[in-house]
Amino acid sequence: MPKTGGNAVDIELTINGERTIVEAGSGDDLATVLRQHGYIDVKCGCDGGTCGASKVFVDGDVRMACEMEATDADGSEIQTVAALGTQADLHPVQQAFVDNFAVQCGFCIPGMVIQAVALLDSNPDPTEREVREALDDNVCRCTGYQKPVEAVLDAAQRMQGEQSVAADGGHPVSAPTHGDESTSCCGGDCDE
Amino acid sequence: MSNDDETAKADGGTASQSETVEDERFEEHPLEWDEPENNDKAPDERDSVSHRTEKYDDRKLVTGQAKYTADYEERYPDLAYAAVVRSEIPHGRVTDIDTSAAEAIDGVEAVLTPESDAVPDAKYTSAGQSYPEPSPWDMHVLNEHVRYIGDPIAAVAAEDRATATAAVEAIEVSYEEADYVTDPEAAFDEDAPQLFEDGEVENEIVGHDYDRNRMAHIGGELGDVDGALDGNTHVHETEWETIRQSHANVEKHTSLAYTDEDDRHVLITSTQVPNHTRRQLAHLFDIPIRDIRVTKPRVGGGFGGKQAMVVEPIPLALSLATDRPVLYEASREEEFYAMRSRHPMKVKAKTAVTDDGDIEAIDIYALSNTGAYGSHGMTVAGNVGSKPMPLYSKVPNARFEADIVHTNTPQTGAMRGYGAPQGTLALEGHLDEVARDLGLDPIEFRRRHHMEVGDLDEIAGMMGGEGANRRIRSCGLDECIEHGKDAIGYDDLEQPDEDHLHRGIGMALSAQGTGVAGDELGAAQIMMNEDGSFHLQVGGVDIGTGADTAFLQIAAEVLGCDEDDIIVKSSDTDVTPFDYGAYASSTTYISGMAVKKAAEDAKARILDWGAKLLDEPVEKLETGDGTVYSESSGDSVTLEDIGYEAAYGDDEREHILGKGTHCTEESPPPFAAQFADVTVDETTGEFEVHKLVVAVDCGVAINPGMAEGQIEGANHMSYEMAVSDGITLDDEGRAEVADFDEYGLPSATETPPIESILVETHEPTGPFGAKSVAEVPTNTVPPALSNAVRDAVGVRIREMPITAEKIRAKLDEREI
Ligand code: FES
Ligand code: FES
């Protein structure tokens, strides 16, 4: 369960292109703070760090927001899945998830989509194995992984030739700087 | 389902008598179904049905805009958060609950114990089933007699989550510990610790024997099984064991309760059964049904885990006590130890086979561990027999029995497949073994006996009385087997070059039901707007399955309108018509048929207005492409024109409304043929599953893309049953897993490719030929993989999960 701590301090975040000052208690995790400020597209499916639903970009790196202290994100640029596309104008990865019937209940999908976008940013033409490795810490109970994997491979095809992933409102999603982190965001150095 | 302990319902007739009986039954369950002409459309006549229509809610799901229960948090500024104190001992009495330290914490709004006024004392069952409830009332919202590590004892509401958690930690519970038992066989012993004393259960199930921790005993027989077993040379008996599986719904059980300005109690809750929940809450809190409103926003998966009122009473009691809205969101750890799980079972299968390879009798017995409480205990166990056994309805003698036993272990409940996975493992593993023993091809052996169109399935009747017999009107089993064999490469399997590696293919068949025969109700209504669009209000519950989309496609097919012109609203007990809920693979078939009827009702009114506007007789008119058109004159009028004319016309006005309700005695089985391709290393027992193929006959798939998603997701869940430990328990019955890393859900890299194949048949009793799809592929991987390992290296694993160690041990045994 997300934690909420005392001793609130103000931190500055740029969330989906908007600079905001938010209040964060010491020990508050980033997922809780984002959700408290209306970013309900950040989903929490576990008690922290084991479902992948809460993945967001923090300064271009995929992070499980529940596993990061909000105060550690002070000054960062954050993108949630809502930044990637709108319902009327989906990001190619989102569109591929829709077209491939890779979505059932949708609860895991924000984390899946973020992870898939990160993968395709660093590896625009992944093999099926590489896609599976990228999604390895994203739990989807509804579809298993067949259709999500197909969706990511399809998205790669669709995005071939595109230079960058344009986010909603023109804020580019920067490519993850560490290739490894795109496949396993919490490979032990989440709280560095 | 019979509650009757006197189980034998033998036919007992001579050959000629049974022919007469057969004829009579044919009359009662005719092969020809009185199907409306418009229900059977050739593929090229379908405008919406069987198209890969985009899932209705997908755009908001992929952009993260959809709202689940916890997302309503921001709407209630005075929201309080709940947390629950749970038993730390497997069995005993609570002698004292010291709440003083918790109450002293700043921000704690209420602390409830079993004594508190807001906490109901009534007994109930959490199972969300029809009425009268087929599960015993053996639970309390908060408990003084605790029966497993996880039983709720006290609940708190506080200003924020951290304070609620701190308050729970500050509560001191004293216990008088009692002996406990965690093994179902030991629980059956006469001197085993007893979980329920006299007077602790209401609404008992016939066959109960609480002195021996038995909550129910069920069974039935066709023909003379013992006679057949005596008279045949080939009698085989095998025993199988299944895991305690977690639903692992990624959205945890979450529920928000408040009392509105009309003094009505509102629950926004993650449930599969809004109407049952409303009725259960009314019983528990002694509030009139009309004063409770249960709404379901998006639900993040259920799989049966939310076919139960698992958490709702807690926030309701706390909101009554605090006069504030209260949100309870279970933790992931609670999901594993205090919510629900699949009943672990031991299942015995016995058959009698003639020298010619004809199966004369099938006899199945299940011992089901229902854990501390009995919700869904009897009905799940019944399905161990009643779902898989009809596959071989040609076998003349059949018997099924089950004992359902309490232990001091976490609660079980409904889970996708609902007993069929356990029964299918036993039956399909057993028949495979028998065929191999007799030197017969396992697939051909099944082909000789499996169900066909025209058969009368008497297994359902064996359990529930002859009225429950089913005539089979659609069956694609042979096609499923053929397509599956092709896709897995059955006939040209190549062995690896290395001598120690062996490749094998295993196959298993499965049948399920489509709704509970004679015990379902779905309803829908359609309102036409003046711009020609429609509101579809339906009780059917979309928990992520895509049901809303299927409803919309069915309505659009009837109304001849654009799919975008239908707005779907499902599952709000104040607004949408009644529905039993999302379970038993019933939603498309039952609620979908209600939608079809509602759409037809609205269409009749639309055609009437069309006739008026076009000045042509109704019989000449049809709907299509958003219009009413005349087949003879070619004239047409748009639905929008009709909408405006109906609402604002000069001489006559009408709100075009359609309503439909559906219930039926029918529950046609969908079918599946599962194939698994495995290579086993005979030196280590390690194995690699190269591919799973599952071919499914679900009648006409209303949306093939969604149906494939259902099949593949179910098959992933089934694969988990074959290779994962599930929720393991320590000696005291404490769950040893607390998060997804510890729970062995196969990840993306650990899951083999799954190929789903849709085999279309036409089921005349279903909307546009549909039957169910969601459960049948949940049943088949454990037997198919066990059979594949047997095929590869000749050893048989009967106890799930299948592991390298078990294979290795069997190989070692064989070598000696
Ligand atoms: S909530 Fe599960 S990984 Fe963050
Ligand atoms: S779609 Fe439900 S968990 Fe992935």
The model's confidence at residue B463, banded by pLDDT at 50, 70 and 90, is confident
Q: CB of B749 within 8 Å of any CB in chain A? A: yes
Q: What is the average pLDDT across B311-333?
A: 98
Kindly list the residues from chain B whose CB atom is less than 8 angstroms away from the CB atom of residue A80: 64
Position B616 scores a pLDDT of: 97
Nearest ligand, measured from the Cα of B300 = 2
Question: What is the per-residue pLDDT across B359-398, written as a single tens digit (0 to 9) for each?
Answer: 999 999 999 999 999 999 999 999 999 999 999 999 999 9
Query: How many angstroms separate the CA atoms of B809 and B254, rounded?
Result: 44
Distance from CA of A14 to the nearest CA of B (A): 18
Kindly list the residues from chain B whose CB atom is less than 8 angstroms away from the CB atom of residue A86: 63
Q: Could you say which of B68, B247, B749 has the minimum Cβ distance to residue A132?
A: B749
Query: How many angstroms separate the CA atoms of B420 and B606, rounded?
Result: 44
Given a cut of 70, whether residue B629 has pLDDT beyond it is yes
Question: What is the per-residue pLDDT across B104-153, written as a single tens digit (0 to 9) for each?
Answer: 999 999 999 999 999 999 999 999 999 999 999 999 999 999 999 999 99
Query: How many angstroms separate the CA atoms of B221 and B207, rounded?
Result: 16
CB contact under 8 A, B55 and A84: no
Query: How many angstroms separate the CA atoms of B135 and B786, rounded?
Result: 33
CB contact under 8 A, A107 and B706: no
Quote the ligand 2 centre to B247 CA distance (angstroms): 12
Nearest ligand, measured from the Cα of B248 = 2
Position B431 scores a pLDDT of: 98
3-state secondary structure of B284: helix
Quote the ligand 1 centre to B146 CA distance (angstroms): 31
Pinpoint the alpha helices (H) of chain A.
30-36, 92-99, 109-122, 128-134, 146-159, 179-183
Distance from CA of B766 to the nearest CA of A (A): 23
Q: CB of B740 within 8 Å of any CB in chain A? A: yes
CB contact under 8 A, A84 and B63: yes
Given a cut of 70, whether residue B54 has pLDDT beyond it is yes
Contact B739, B332 (CB under 8 A): yes
Given a cut of 90, whether residue B12 has pLDDT beyond it is no
The model's confidence at residue B503, banded by pLDDT at 50, 70 and 90, is very high
CB A166 less than 6 A from any atom of ligand 2:
no
Position B23 scores a pLDDT of: 52
Q: Could you say which of A43, A104, A144 has the minimum Cβ distance to residue B546?
A: A104
Q: CB of B161 within 8 Å of any CB in chain A? A: yes
Beta-ladder partners of B256: B268, B327
CB contact under 8 A, A102 and B741: no
Question: What is the per-residue pLDDT across B262-319, written as a single tens digit (0 to 9) for each?
Answer: 999 999 999 999 999 999 999 999 999 999 999 999 999 999 999 999 999 999 999 9
A40 to chain B: closest CA residue = B71
CB contact under 8 A, A85 and B544: no
The model's confidence at residue B461, banded by pLDDT at 50, 70 and 90, is confident
pTM metric for this prediction = 0.94
Structure-token pair, residue B669:
């089985």
N- to C-terminal Cα separation, chain B: 47
Beta-ladder partners of B8: B221
Quote the ligand 1 centre to A53 CA distance (angstroms): 5
Complex-level ipTM: 0.95
Distance from CA of A139 to the nearest CA of B (A): 7
Given a cut of 80, whether residue B796 has pLDDT beyond it is yes
Contact A60, A78 (CB under 8 A): no
CB contact under 8 A, A136 and B60: no
Structure-token pair, residue B799:
């106890």
**Rounded mean pLDDT of chain B?**
95
Given a cut of 80, whether residue B209 has pLDDT beyond it is yes
B705 to chain A: closest CA residue = A101
Distance from CA of B756 to the nearest CA of A (A): 10
Kindly list the residues from chain A whose CB atom is less than 8 angstroms away from the CB atom of residue B76: none
Quote the ligand 1 centre to A52 CA distance (angstroms): 5
Q: CB of B160 within 8 Å of any CB in chain A? A: yes
Structure-token pair, residue B410:
């976490």
Q: Could you say which of B59, B545, B713 has the minimum Cβ distance to residue A90?
A: B59
Position A162 scores a pLDDT of: 67
Position B14 scores a pLDDT of: 34
Position A25 scores a pLDDT of: 87
Nearest ligand, measured from the Cα of A52 = 1
> pLDDT > 70: what percent of chain B?
96
Nearest ligand, measured from the Cα of A45 = 1
Contact B518, B10 (CB under 8 A): no
Please give the distance of CA B273 from its chain centroid, rounded to a whole number: 12
Question: What is the per-residue pLDDT across B399-425, written as a single tens digit (0 to 9) for each?
Answer: 999 999 999 999 999 999 999 999 999
Query: How many angstroms separate the CA atoms of A44 and B137, rounded?
Result: 33
Question: What is the per-residue pLDDT across A147-179, written as a single tens digit (0 to 9) for each?
Answer: 999 999 999 999 986 644 443 333 333 333 333
Position A173 scores a pLDDT of: 39
The model's confidence at residue B643, banded by pLDDT at 50, 70 and 90, is very high
Atom of ligand 2 nearest to the CA of B544: 2
Beta-ladder partners of B606: none
B163 to chain A: closest CA residue = A4
What does pLDDT average to in each consecutive run of 10 residues of chain A (192 residues)?
Answer: 64 97 92 95 96 98 98 97 97 98 98 98 98 98 97 96 46 36 35 32
Question: What is the per-residue pLDDT across B523-578, written as a single tens digit (0 to 9) for each?
Answer: 999 999 999 999 999 999 999 999 999 999 999 999 999 999 999 999 999 999 99
Quote the ligand 2 centre to B251 CA distance (angstroms): 9
Q: Could you say which of A35, A105, A147 has the minimum Cβ distance to residue B301?
A: A105
Q: Could you say which of A4, A46, A104 has the minimum Cβ distance to residue B739?
A: A46
Pinpoint the alpha helices (H) of B29-159.
58-62, 100-103
Q: Could you say which of B165, B713, B749 has the minimum Cβ distance to residue A133?
A: B749
Quote the ligand 2 centre to A149 CA distance (angstroms): 13
Position B233 scores a pLDDT of: 84
Position A7 scores a pLDDT of: 77
Query: How many angstroms separate the CA atoms of B81 and B255, rounded?
Result: 10
CB A50 less than 6 A from any atom of ligand 1:
yes
Quote the ligand 2 centre to A104 CA distance (angstroms): 5
> Residues B184, B187, B188, B189: is their CA dihedral positive or negative?
positive
Phi, psi of A79 (to 5 degrees): -120, 125
Structure-token pair, residue B635:
């004239």
Position B704 scores a pLDDT of: 98
Distances (CA, A) of B719 to B257, B421, B683, B713, B789: 37, 11, 24, 10, 14
CB pairs under 8 A between A and B: 194
Distance from CA of A177 to the nearest CA of B (A): 24
Atom of ligand 2 nearest to the CA of B251: 3
Query: How many angstroms separate the CA atoms of A39 and B72, rounded?
Result: 12
CB contact under 8 A, B301 and A136: no
Given a cut of 80, whether residue B692 has pLDDT beyond it is yes
Kindly list the residues from chain A whose CB atom is less than 8 angstroms away from the CB atom of residue B544: 104-107, 142
Q: What is the average pLDDT across B619-640?
A: 96
Distance from CA of A142 to the nearest CA of B (A): 5
Q: CB of B614 within 8 Å of any CB in chain A? A: no
Quote the ligand 2 centre to B92 CA distance (angstroms): 39
Nearest ligand, measured from the Cα of A50 = 1
CB contact under 8 A, A81 and B62: yes
Kindly list the residues from chain B whose CB atom is less than 8 angstroms away from the CB atom of residue A50: 332, 739-741
CB A112 less than 6 A from any atom of ligand 1:
no
Beta-ladder partners of A40: none
CA count, 13 A, side-chain hemisphere, B724:
23
Query: How many angstroms separate the CA atoms of B337 and A169, rounded?
Result: 44
Residue to mutate, A3, A66, A80, A140, ligand 1, most ligand atoms under 8 Å from C-beta: A66
Given a cut of 90, whether residue B234 has pLDDT beyond it is yes
